[in-house]
Every structure is written in structure tokens, then in C-alpha cells.
Amino acid sequence: MWLFPLAAAAVSGYLAGILAAQWRARHRSHLLAWSLALVMFAVASAAAGVGLLAGWTTSLYRAYYLFGAILNVPVLALGTIYLLAPRPVAHLFAVIVLVAGASATVVVTTAQMNAGGLDTSGIPRGSEVFPADVRLLSRFYSISGFLVVVSGAVWSAVRLLRRGEAHLRRLARANLLIAGGTTVVAAASEVARIGTGSAQGFIFAVGLLVGVSLMFLGFIRTRPPSSAASSPRE
């Protein structure tokens, strides 16, 4: 089952590169945030693939948990905020995400771990590896980011669809795709949190791949129609 997480990591990394190229060409902050979020998805999935293939270590699991269960969704949500909110508001949230991310990194990298919980054929449960405070941090960060992405998508869809203009309808659909992809990833992560065995890793990887693909379709649709068919580097 290790091949599926590694494939998901490769796809996430490739899509992150495309968004990074778009950011360099257009200098839009939401593209940078989304690119960073996809890099985090890639790191988390790669850690899962290596863990399933060669066995889990504390370092692998810290990377998987930090980038896959804590940091990635808030950074994805920051992209939504940059896309929809006034720039000063988005800058404020960027500072909040940066401080919160640094704090979470310190907590996860210094937390005591139960190495025995890493002895599994699937993805270790957080409840068997990390103490309760780390798991609570994960739930708070991921749920908060998820709510921002989904509520932002729904709000923008309702507001933009009412205006009836074609490019605004396209932007509304783009946000709904991003929210749908985030929901799929959240569901796959929940399976990884509560499931056991090798099938758990397969479901996580497939869910990640499908979710990231939906997000990327949404990311592409946020581009103006004139540039949507052009090269990301143009």
C-alpha cells in the first residue's frame, strides 16, 4: 500500500510547482499560500508512504502529523482568505497563521511519543503515539482551517452567483471545488485517525489524491479566462 501515498506525494508536489510558477508570474498571495499547502500535503503523504514501506520512525511520524494533521489546512485556508478578504485582513491572518504554525511546530517536535504505537502495518493512530494536548492542537487547527475554507466557499458562491456574471460564476465554482477537495482530504484524514491496518493507508492516500486534484481544479478556475489556457509560466 506504500505506493499510493508516494504517488499522492508526487502529484501534490507537481501541482505545488505549477501554482508556484503561477505565483512567480502573477504575484498573487493566494497562489503562494495554496502552493505551500500542497507542499505540506506532499510531505505528509511522502512520510506516510515511507512509513508504510520501511516502517515508522518518530521523525517520520512527527513530519506526517505536523504537515498532514496540523499545518496544511490552516495554510490552505489562508489562501482562501487572501482570495476573498481585503488585503489588510489577509495580512493579519497571515501573521496569525505564521505564529500559530511556529508554535505548533515547537509543540510537535518536542512532544513525548509512545514509540510502541508506531509498530503497525498501517498509519499509526495519533491517540496511540502523541499525548492529548498534541491531538487537541491538531483538531483545533484542522477544524478551524476547514471551516474557513468551506464557509468562504459557500459565502462566495452565494454572493457571486447572485451577481450573475460569467467570470463570477466561474470563481464561485472554483471555491466550491476547493471546499469539496478539502472535505475529501478531511474525510481521508479521519479514516487515518481512527482506522487500522494496511487498508487505512490506501484509503488515506486515495482520498488525499482525489481531494488534492479537486482543489487543483478549483485553483485553476480562479485564474482569469484569458490566462486559464496559457502556460503557468506566461
pLDDT digit of tens for each residue in the chain (234 aa)? 778 788 888 888 998 999 999 999 989 999 999 999 999 999 998 998 899 889 999 999 999 999 998 999 999 999 989 988 899 999 999 999 999 999 999 999 999 999 999 988 788 888 899 999 999 999 999 999 999 988 888 887 777 777 766 667 777 788 788 888 889 988 888 877 776 666 666 777 788 788 888 888 888 877 665 544 343 333
Residues 38 and 18 sit within 8 Å (Cβ to Cβ): no
pLDDT at 232: 38
Give Cβ neighbours of residue 113 (< 8 Å, ≥ 6 apart). 58, 61, 62, 129, 130
- Note the pLDDT of residue 8: 83
Residues 209, 221: Cα–Cα separation, whole Å: 19
- Write down all domains in the chain, each with its CATH number in brackets: 3-228 (1.20.1070)
Task: Residue 101: name the closest of 191, 153, 40 by CA.
Answer: 40
Do residues 193 and 155 lie in contact, with contact meaning Cβ atoms separated by under 8 Å?
A: no
Amino acid at 212: V
Identify the pLDDT of residue 196: 61
Query: 30-47: b or e for each residue (b if 16 or more CB lie within 10 Å)?
Result: bbbbbbbbbbbbbbbbbb
The whole model's pTM is what? 0.84
pLDDT on residue 129: 94
